[in-house]
Structure 1
Amino acid sequence: MFDNENLNRGIEPFEPVATETRVSTGRRLSLRGYSLALTGFVLVGFLVMGGCASLFSSPAFLMGVVDHYLGIAVLSFVASIAGIVMMGSGKKRQAVGLSLLGYAVFVLSFGFTTSTILLSYTATTISTAFLATAGIVVVFACLGVAMPRVFEKIQGVLTGALLALIVVQLVMLFLGVSQTWIDFVVIVVFCGFIGYDFHKAMYDEPTLVNAVYNASELFLDIINVFVRVLSILGNRD
């Protein structure tokens, strides 16, 4: 059990890497406040993606995006990278404004591009995929806290598997081979990342800036699972 002092300080790290002295000028939050901020930022990401998807209900807007899709995709990619860089810089300096700006740029650009995927699925499929993804997140977030050392050990394996999957997908795309089985593999890999990143977030210093940065990593993990679940369910419709 945690006493009130420990709750205010957040969870103390126990792994060797995290116990080294960390220099920070950020204002520490309570564990509850930090957890709420982390969850809130992830939910904001999904709300932004949903809002972007609703824009495509306008035929004129949809046609405009289709006509300039390549340029929009490149711009969104560059903006996403810029947002990540800003969040990284903000985390290093514990600059709240820069971190929030970076998160806004990242979520708007990445969320807009990803929202185009939703156009291919029915509302029922999307809601089912969302509920399934939510269940997966809860399970692996709990596992990340309950078995932190397991996820620390497999983090390198997950990264290697992700890089291998990218190469395999590119080859299969070039050959025109069905990639249905890859959806399941990607889900497994990103479930591992959810556990690892949630564990890392909970053992990070509880500041608003760190909540923003960790939320961006979890948002990426969850979106990848969500998109693959959508693909699997869509193939069954």
Structure 2
Amino acid sequence: MEHSVFERQGQLTDRAISPAAYNLAIGLTLLWGFAVNWWMVDNISTEWIRGINPWVFYGGYFASCMLGVSLFARSANPLKSFVGYNLVVVPFGLVVNLVVSRYDSQLVLEAIRITALVTAGMMLLGTLFPSFFSRIASALFVALLLVIVVELVEILFFGVHHGALDWIVVLIFCGYIGYDWGRANQIPRTLDNAIDSAAALYMDIIILFLRILRILGRR
């Protein structure tokens, strides 16, 4: 079994690339995912998505995401990792489509701008203080699990959602962006690792964006 991307210490078959090329590969991979999501929002109707049987939709969503994560996290092949990345991007794009359709376009653009600025800031902090984010990784994971449980209980049993949870999720994923960016710069700089790192960051950024949009929408 191959090691998870962030546990790799380099292999003889890996071809190292320059730091500039590595960061460019991460950036281009992220842009590809965001461009696909933008195209999906612009070209796929929400009525079509809502017409999908809920069991089929959610089953396909989780199956595609889990398969995608398994591919890019375990594979040392850039092409296979890119396929896995797209298996995550597409179902995320369907969810983004449903969410953004509820908000004014100017509010969506504001959420995109804020998300971009926060992401850039957390990447800078992740570069400057990688050891700090590494130390809080376990706390972030526990906090995320706790928030998921609390949200499920609130929605399923009480039919409510407290806005404070959105702020907590924003803080958690700010931490995850710093953590994943710090890890990305501590593993061997190969094309495959760049794609895998971008995939992890993509999920952090999309979830951050959706929560920021929800917070802005309550104004």
- TM-score w.r.t. the length of structure 1 is 0.84
Residue equivalent to 2:47: 63
The counterpart of 1:40, out of the listed 18, 28, 35, is 28
- 1:111-126 alignment to 2 at 5 Å? 111-126=93-108
Match of 2:181 in 1: 198
User: RMSD between aligned alpha carbons?
Assistant: 1.8
**In structure 2, distance between residues paired with 1:50 and 1:199:** 27
User: What is the match of residue 78 of structure 2?
Assistant: 96
Letter in 2 for 1:142: L
1:78 and 2:66 correspond? no
Looking at structure 2, the residues matched to 176 and 24 of structure 1 have their Cα atoms a distance apart, in angstroms, of: 54
Cα distance in 2 for residues equivalent to 1:143 and 1:166 = 26
Q: Is the 8 A contact 1:77 1:110 kept in 2?
A: no
Please give the alpha-carbon distance, in whole angstroms, between the structure 1 residues aligned to 2:211 and 2:9.
Answer: 39
CA distance in 2 between partners of 1:160 and 1:75 (Å): 27
Matched, 1:28 2:13: no
Structure 1 segments (4+ residues) deviating >4 Å: none
Which residue does the alignment assign to 1:136?
A: 118
Structure 1: runs of 5 or more not aligned: 1-16
Q: 1:63 to 1:111 in 2, by over 3 A?
A: closer
Q: Tell me, yes or no, if the aligned pair for 1:76 and 1:113 is still in contact at 8 Å.
A: no
Distance 1:21 1:47 in 2: 31
Report how many aligned residue pairs link the two structures. Answer: 212
Residue 119 of structure 1: how far off its partner (Å): 0.7
Q: Is the 8 A contact 1:204 1:210 kept in 2?
A: yes
Matched to 1:121, the amino acid is: Y
Relative contact order, higher structure (CA 8 A, sep 6+): 2
- 1:170-189 correspondence runs (5 A): 170-174=152-156, 175-189=158-172
